Amino acid sequence: MTINKKRMEQLEAEHHPDEIRARIVGQDHSYLGDAILGAMDGGVTTFAVIAGVAGGGFDSQVILVLGLAKLFADGFSMAASNFLQTRSQHEQIEEARQTEREHIRHIPEGERREIRQIFAQKGFEGDILDSIVETLSQDEEQWIDIMLSQELGLPREAPNPMGAAGATFGAFLVVGFLPLLPFLIPGLTMDQAFWISGGITAAAFLGVGVIKGLVLKRPVLKSGIQTLLVGSGAAVLAYLVSYWLRQRYGVG
């Protein structure tokens, strides 16, 4: 694959010793995934309520009551679930770390044989393999980290549960509140508020995708459009189901 000059310069800059050190040493967990998940779910949840109420023929007061109730209840539920999941991951890693520490202290030769097999499977052999085993087994914490990642497939540490929950809840509330804004503006008809809300929600989904693309260094337009399409599905489905129920059974 041919790399143009601009991309080559970018790659060289990313592999400067200072940049490498920043990525490897002391790198904090990114809560981008938590925020994007919260933002997407917040936008989908709120606009699905709006679309469902509009499709059912109810008025804007119902939208505000249900929308705000769903916004805070679902946002808190999602954040709490993320908190519990992340804390469980912490506990799993800590338990595995303590188990490996016990093994290293009581059966170090057995743990060295495990390191030897791990790196032998990667193609190392002879003196180089002996050197790897000797080097890694000199530091207990480094030894444990290797066993966590290479033997058990676990990260060295989990993200902070409060940080993950906070990122999820904050993004959920911010993006989830945006679709409700037009229904707070006096003088707008139900139809006007609905279409403005739809435009705001679409723009929010597109913006979330663009931000994701920028952070992950992916094509921003493609990322934005993908996020927009995924986020719009639930709202369209809610509207169509509510509209069908209204026509079929006279609901609303």
Answer yes or no: is pLDDT of 158 > 70: yes
pLDDT score recorded for residue 79: 92
Confidence of residue 166 (pLDDT cuts 50, 70, 90): very high
146 residue type, one letter:
I
Span 160-170, average pLDDT: 90
pLDDT tens per residue across span 86-97: 888 888 888 888
Largest pairwise CA distance in the chain: 80
CA distances from 72 to 50, 52, 189, 191, 214 (A): 15, 18, 26, 25, 29
Q: What is the pTM of this model?
A: 0.73
Span 34-51, average pLDDT: 85
